[in-house]
Structure 1
Amino acid sequence: MSTFRTRSVTGAAAALSLSLVLAACSGGSDSDSAAETGTQGKVSLEFWSWTEGIEAQTKVWNKEHPETQIKFVNAAGDTVYQKLRASVTSGDAPCLSKMDGMNLANFAADGLLTDITKIAAKYKSSYTAPAWNSVSPGGATYGIPTGSSPLFTAYRADLFQKYGISAPRTWDDLIAAGKAVQKKDKNVKIFNMAGEDPSTLVDLSWQANAQWYKVDGDHWAIDFTSPEALKAGDIVQELVDNNLASNASYADPGVFKTWDLGSTILMTTSTWQLPIYDTNFPKSKGKWQLAGAPLFDTAHPQTSSNFDVTAVLKGCKYPDRAAQFAAWLSSSKESLTALTDPASKSGLFPAVDDVSPYVDKIIPTDMFNGKSDSANVITTAASRVGGQWQYGPDYAAMYSEMQKQWGKVMKKQLTVKAMLTHLQNWVLADLKNKGVKAVAGS
């Protein structure tokens, strides 16, 4: 996802190991059955990450845990996932690495991770169900959640008052507000959708309770054209058809001006982006307000989130120690207090059940007008993340394909429904080609 936006399975499906569903395409993953017994003695584990503030925490850990030393490697760069794949193939992979949820699913599908289901079970209760779902595609667990990015809304309260509109509670409200603003000023947009970034559709689909990928027995059910998915697509289509959204690229350094100067007056956003406003919205400081993300169903409020994770790579000799460190990093009060401090520059927001101790200090109070409870907005958003969303075995590849189609949608060369239909067929063909059993529908 763009640098600016980037944004639980139950019953029989949760019990099904991903390795069973993906056996045909995967080289297999290390089983944790051989690694259940805790290792003895001093060990050293290599850990790749590119999040600021993490290295300092590894030093804290090393001082307190002489028996498990973490060797931190700053792996920043656009080719980090390619390098990780190559390192697994060559047999010199790190034990641990930062990832996002969709890449964890892809690495697991390709047999590049270690199954730590039994080892990690004791840490599960510390995290939200959606967060744990992000490290357990198909039911088997391959890492520990690190951080979350629950979605909420930031809007120009001064301009909302000027145009006589209120913070939208639903996506239909947002469409109506956008139309009302357009009647008063054609140059002002209610929203922004960049041509290279389809994350808006992902967020909407998640919020609408769609399930593009779902484990069903011994196969994946692929459903980009369910009623829920199409309902999400319809909102995007309305924004496009009615010219309600600006199209500022998140790759353009000037993108901030569309909000700072008031040509776009609302955005869906998350915790890690808040410090960006303080730095890049000088003219509109103090004029913003937070509200919950627009909903599809106010009786059953649901939003979306991205998740950062710490994955355990294939070949890790000490998965028990690896999981122990990863859980300490992302759930201990000591580590989270440091990482959620703006001074750490990590931008991390916890994926734990109780986020209340960490919310207040991440809010740049000078940015907001003080007329709403920003901490409550964020805490509520964290509690509303839908647990049904699942990353499938080719999610990262699918996302790249969606990016290609998304630009056409923004230019009105392709409808959202046509894009979703294309993605449905593309994923089914891609998984078949990979030898993964998948069928259309739920």
Structure 2
Amino acid sequence: MPQTTITHLSSVGSDHCPLLMEMETREDDHIKYFKFLNCWTDQPNFLDIVKACWDRNVEGNNMWKFHQKMKRLSNTLSNWSRKEFGDIFAKVREYEENVKTMEEQLIQDNSEINRAMLHELNAKYIRSGLDTIEHIFNTGQFATYVWRSFAEAAGIITDHSSLTHLIIQWWSAKYNNEAHKLLLQATPLFICWNLWKNRCASKYGGKSSNISRVKYAIYKDNYKLMNTNFPQIKWPSSWKDLFQLGENCIHDIKVTLVKWIKPPARWIKINTDGSALSNPGRIGAGGILRDQMEAMLLAFATPLGEGTNNQAEIGAAFFGMTWAIQLGYKNVVLEVDSQLLVDWIMQRAKPPWSISTQLQQLQELIRQTHNFRCKHTFREANFVADSLSKRSHKLTCPHMIVNFDSNVFLTQFFI
């Protein structure tokens, strides 16, 4: 609004004082308030700038300190924004002027060409505000900072032209061992996944973007993956140390002697195995009973109908124990290649309800023995029972073989 001033002049040659009225326009000097822009939070160095401003020492009382820190922060962010984004408000004014000019031109000449030009102009500014795959996962400053943070330890050059090229760089990098290979293949996927989660949380979940949170989530995903695949290794709590350990791992080959061990004197050993064509599906069982002289006492292969692999394992053990009790053997070693079955039989783990009835029946047979042991063995030492269980799928009824010469038995069965 114009400013009006009235000045009382001195009275010269008159008994009245003249009044001088002046009207002039002054510059608009209203307070310009600080405006916080959401796009700042997507920049990787935003939090560092805020922290640097806020951590500087200021003398005075608490209100004065708060006022000075806010003033310094607003000035610093304004200058930083102009360098990072340019004059955003000038760009908005330019856009509005361009659209207004085009609309006026369309009013004067409502031609198809002018309408198409107006639509194209609007589309241009709309497209400039949309997220693209490359921007979210690759070329955006937030994404670039995240990729660089993980690529440095891996020796990957982040000077890339596209997201596809960047991922190929990780996947085609030379690896030293299986742990190193897994890190190189999985890390790009974890980076993309966590960048996407961060973008969705920021856009739709009301959360601000956070570099530290995203980097920690990527590290944690890698940590869980390595801990699951290589549980014998104690993985470090930082990405750089974790990657270096994976890169320098030496593949240690351990050789374990696996063989069938005969039972003690006056004992028999039962080796059983279950087989399932699918889970659930057709199941069968196979097993062999041998004495302390390694002589075969009995062998069997039998179909068990429909069920799960766990039901097949218990069914095989039950079938073998039934024949051992019927033949009068009271000192029994049951050997299977399922550690889970051993834990259920020895009551170290609680079985699922679907096999509880079968397990109770097996326990009834065990109580009829004088001495009983249940052991786990590797599949290589249980190959006879494994072969018999697979043969059961070709049968329609139980197949029993009794021959006290084990060599004759094996020749008859496998030839």
TM-score (norm 2): 0.24
Higher normalized contact order (CA 8 Å, seq sep 6+, divided by chain length): 1
Decide which structure has the larger Cα Rg and report it.
2
